[in-house]
Amino acid sequence: MAQTSSGRLAGLRRLLTPTFVIGAGLVIVITLFGLIAPFFVADPLAVDNAGMHGPTAQNVLGTTQTGQDVLAQLAWATRGSLMVGVIVAVLALFLSAFFGILGGYLGGWLDEVFSLFTNVVLILPGLPLMIVIGSYVQQRGLLLISIILAITSWAAAARVLRSQTLSIRNRDYVQAARIAGEKAHRIIAVEILPNLLPVMSSGFVFALITAILGEAGLSFIGIGVVGTQTWGSMLFYAQNGQALTLGAWWWFVPPGLMIALLGCGLSLINFSIDGIINPRLRTAPKQVKKAEKAEQVDKADDSAEQEEVMA
């Protein structure tokens, strides 16, 4: 057992690059903020006469036009946006895994039907569709928006998973499992799925980013989630309240910054996962640099020797 755990540790250590640590740090801080802060802030919807003023001791991030506390709004909006992101990512992961892996492994007509469906969904123009559905439905709850976002964002990941599954399906170890008598569901779950984990986690993180950005976009044009605060809805109200023209930076900078930071953090995590999937990406430049450096040191030594000789 000692061997296995040391193997896992080695895998973890491989993941712990500076890129990953910074990315994960950003994401963890923002997540904790969204989880904990809402319990400590004032009511984000409470209206007050003291509207549109900058940061004070009372309102650390100032107030909106209607005197609502921006920090309180930001706390709830963070929670809302993250919830949309996670729900969409989970749904998209499930859909892409179902259509991609099952189709890829079982093959035949099922695969044909699945990939046809995937391709059709893939070419559906995402944003216009969201606008159409969003404006058609009146009760735009968080779940509905999440489902719309999920439906429009799983297809690309499904194609990646299908092609990966197709290549893994023909590997000898899968054939060997068949000869050993493993059932199809176990081959998928135990032999194939673990080898897809890096690809799937990268897809998950990517879906998370697109979902949060997509929701922000929808909310910003006014057809986002109704009844739940998100970063997008904050920006929408800030835009409506002419925060930009009035120079009320404390109103629109915080949600904008949050989107940027979370997107940045998740992208950094994705880069590190890519490094694991394809180790060459990660180490090649470093190795070249290292060899070049050694070369230079050598040359420096040589020239030093030459100088000595000259002297």
Partner 1 sequence: MSDPALSTTLEEDRRGGGSSELGEPVLTVENLNVVYEVESPVHAVQDAAFSLRRGEILGLAGESGCGKTTLAYGLNQLHRPPARITSGSVTFHDRDGGDVDVLALEGESLRAFRWSKVAMVFQGAMNSLNPVLSIRTQLGDVFTTHRPHMDAAERLSRSKELLDLVGVDPSRINAYAHELSGGMRQRVMIAMALALDPQLMIMDEPTTALDVVVQREILQEILRLRQELGFAVIFITHDLPMLLEISDRIAVMRKGRIVEIDTAENLYFEPRDPYTRKLLGSFPSLTGEAGDFVRAGFDTEEGR
Partner 2 sequence: MSTLVVKDLTKTYLLRDGLRFSRLEAVKSVDFELTPGRTVALVGQSGSGKSTIAKLIAQLETPTSGTITLNGKPVGRRGRALAAYRDEVQMVFQDPFASLNPFHSIGHHLERPLLLHGKATKADVREKALALLERVNLSPAESFIDRKPHELSGGQRQRVAIARALAPEPSVLVADEPVSMLDVSVRLGVLNLLATLQREENLALLYITHDLATARHFSDEILVMYRGDVVEQGPSDDVILNPQAEFTKQLLVAAPEPGTNPRFLAEATRRGVPMPDHLAALEETT
Q: Which residues bind partner 2 (CB under 8 A)?
A: 1-4, 7, 171-182, 190-191, 194-195
Q: Which whole-number Å values give the CA distances from 232 to 176, 209, 214, 247, 257, in the listed order? A: 51, 14, 9, 19, 12
One residue of 119, 163, 287, 296 binding partner 1 per CB under 8 A: 287
Backbone angles phi, psi at 62, to 5 degrees: 75, -170
Structural tokens at position 282: 């990660």
Which residue type sits at 293? K
Give the bridge partners for 63, in sequence order. 69
Name the minimum Å distance from CB 37 to partner 2: 39
Which span sits near partner 1 by CB under 8 A: 60-68, 96-104, 165-173, 284-292? 284-292
Name the minimum Å distance from CB 2 to partner 2: 8
The position carrying tokens 């984000």 is: 44
Which span sits near partner 1 by CB under 8 A: 43-51, 209-217, 274-282, 292-300? 292-300
Q: Which whole-number Å values give the CA distances from 305 to 186, 291, 293, 295, 308, in the listed order? A: 66, 21, 18, 15, 5
Q: What is the DSSP letter of 247?
A: T
* 299 is an interface residue for partner 1 by CB under 8 A: no
- Considering beta carbons, is residue 3 or 138 the nearer one to partner 2? 3
One residue of 113, 244, 294, 300 binding partner 1 per CB under 8 A: 294
Which span sits near partner 1 by CB under 8 A: 14-22, 117-125, 224-232, 286-294? 286-294
Q: What is the DSSP letter of 57?
A: S
SS3 137: coil
Give the bridge partners for 69, in sequence order. 63
One residue of 290, 302, 304, 306 binding partner 1 per CB under 8 A: 290
Structural tokens at position 120: 């059709």
One residue of 43, 112, 292, 305 binding partner 1 per CB under 8 A: 292
* Contacted by 294, from partner 1, partner 2, none: CB < 5 to 8 Å by type: partner 1
Name the minimum Å distance from CB 287 to partner 1: 4
* Contacted by 292, from partner 1, partner 2, none: CB < 5 to 8 Å by type: partner 1
Say if residues 212 and 81 touch (Cβ distance below 8 Å). yes
Size of the residue set binding partner 1 (CB under 8 A): 8
CA distance 149 to 160: 19
Sites of contact with partner 1 (CB under 8 A): 287-288, 290-292, 294-295, 298
